[in-house]
A and B are shown apart, each in its own frame.
Chain A
Amino acid sequence: MSDAPGALADGTRGEGKAVMAEGAVAVGSRPARRRPSRFGFRKPLPRGLELSIALGASLGLLLLWEAVARFGYVNTLFFPAPSDVAAAMVHMFRDQDLAWHAAVSTARVWSAFLIAAVMAIPMGILMSSYRVIGAASEPVIDFIRYLPVPALVPLAIIWFGVGEETKIFLLWLGTFFQLVLLVADDMRRVPQEYVEITQTLGASHYQILRDVAFRAMLPSLVDNLRVTLGWCWTYLIIAEIVAASSGIGFVIWAARRYMKTPEVMAGVVLIGIIGLASDQILRAVHRRMFRYL
């Protein structure tokens, strides 16, 4: 019963796709159907059920944590209850300009990410389109990719001082080299047949790249950008504990000095929330852009 509205809602979302709408109607109008198992192997769950399971599990974990802290099973100095963390966050928004710090961090992450993307996309495409470029650049990139970002902090400070550049550079460092290889791989996976079809229609190299190869790789490219943006957030703390006076990383680091564990956790949780939100937004963009999949 509860899944019928979900099925219909799904059908109407694929607007204009007669095939899907028909499928939904057929499912809805079939009278007595055996209740599908919740553990159907690789079977979808009704949307409503899936959402409630997801929310329920997260909420359950929070409650468990709260209970463990309240009943004194752990030292709250080190492991404060979620309610204390929430209270700390509210307090930080009100009195410590947490929103501004979050905005600063978001701006850093996005500028580093955009710079990395703008450089990595053409580079990756060229690397797998022309073996000469690939052969020349792959060893270097592969090597740098494995350098730990924290280890390069001193070098970054020597090069760029302690200003904005250092932070952007460190974030960029963590994403660019990974992204180049991911883009190159996406391009490599474009079926050779697509390229050959286009060749036999009289297209130039550039036209093949623009009209076919790039379009073919676009869905996985957007997916990889989404994943890389996530990594950017994970490097944020490293970048912001280096002589920063703003950003969520700075707030966390400052709170740590006074053992304000709830505030430290509040900062960490906020990063998680922002990360989750941007991830969901990019997922929605992906669904919208690639309805044809």
Chain B
Amino acid sequence: MTAPYLVFDGVTKHFGPIAVVDVPFDYRIEKNQFVVFLGPSGCGKTTLMRMIGGLDEPSGGEIRLEGAPVGPPDRRRGMVFQSYSSFPWLTVAENVAFGMKYRSDIGEEEKLARRDRYLDLVGLYEFSDAYPARVSGGMRQRIAIARTLAAGSDVLLMDEPFGALDAQRREGLQVQLRRIQKRDAKTIVFVTHDVEEAVFLADKVVVFTKRPARIAAEVDVAERLGADRTLELRESPEFFALRNELLHLLREAAGDDER
């Protein structure tokens, strides 16, 4: 077993009287793992992600990355926000390049190459010179994804990044993301409402109860489906079995009002 990389140690969080995470939250994520958070709307997934990113502080307990408590946001933890944003005054290409703006460790040429690579990956190359206001919502989301990937953080925190995409683009990007994660050895925490997406992407799926967030179940997908994820896998009986299992868990976790 590898040493834990990202550790939640008794984390709680409340905003004033509202407890978002009230039972101390303990969880460990190993290096280079793809972990998917699945849970009812409003259960606190975004809040957990923001605390990893350092944008919110836990009310109690701590989150450690490689043994050290996480501090304010930095380049090691990249985020794709739920309401994907791009900067309206920059072109699509400039937005993607912005991800590397504050990196002095890579040269200009390498930055341009990376910019083009990720533009191409999300299928926005021909829109390089357009301004975000002139492209569709789904394209804007892809800008944010490309920017975060280009930034090259060790930990990627992705909050429903594929929400506004059509099914085909979504599948394509899922395959790519999985590939990038294994190739570049990234640790990814990914939030989604889409159970199939969760099964397809995850090494581990964490199912949350409704607020306040508690872990209802943890499913080791890697153990059941292996590390290799291809589109064919989506049609396999194992995939479906796992999907149904998760759907069931999610329904239970969501509680009485859903039954």
Binding site for B on A (CB under 8 A): 16-17, 19-20, 191, 193-194, 196-197, 199-203, 207, 211-212, 215-216, 218, 290-293
Contacts and interface: CB of A to CB of B under 8 A. Distances in A.
B88 A201 contact: no
Listed from nearest, the 6 A-B pairs whose CB atoms lie closest are A202-B75, A199-B73, A292-B131, A202-B102, A200-B73, A200-B79
Secondary structure dominating the interface of A: helix
12 contacts: A191-B85, A193-B81, A193-B83, A194-B87, A196-B55, A199-B72, A200-B77, A200-B79, A202-B75, A215-B89, A292-B133, A293-B133
A201 B87 contact: no
Given A191-B85, A200-B53, 19 more contacts: A16-B129, A17-B130, A193-B85, A194-B85, A196-B73, A199-B73, A200-B73, A200-B74, A200-B78, A201-B151, A202-B75, A202-B102, A203-B102, A207-B102, A211-B101, A291-B131, A292-B89, A292-B133, A293-B133
Nearest to B82: A193
Most B-side CB within 10 Å, residue of A194, A201, A292 = A201
A212 B87 contact: yes
A199 B76 CA distance: 11
Contact of B81 (A20, A196, A207): A196
A292 B88 contact: yes
Nearest to B86: A197
B117 interface: no
A215 B78 CA distance: 22
A291 B54 CA distance: 35
B99 interface: yes
Contacts, number: 65
A201 B75 contact: yes
Nearest to A289: B89
A201 B77 CA distance: 8
A201 B89 contact: no
Contacts of B28: none
Given A292-B131, A293-B133, A201 B85 contact: no
Nearest to A192: B55
A201 B98 CA distance: 8
Nearest to A18: B130
A212 B102 CA distance: 13
Nearest to A207: B102
B134 interface: yes
B197 to A, nearest CB: 23
Nearest to A196: B55
Most A-side CB within 10 Å, residue of B73, B77, B153 = B73
A216 B87 contact: yes
B81 A197 contact: yes
B55 A199 contact: yes
Contacts of A291: 131
A291 B102 CA distance: 26
A199 B56 CA distance: 13
A278 to B, nearest CB: 25
A201 B99 CA distance: 6
A197 B130 contact: no
Most B-side CB within 10 Å, residue of A191, A202, A211 = A202
Given A191-B85, A197-B85, A215-B89, A17 B134 contact: yes
A218 B89 CA distance: 10
Contact of A202 (B55, B74, B79, B130): B74
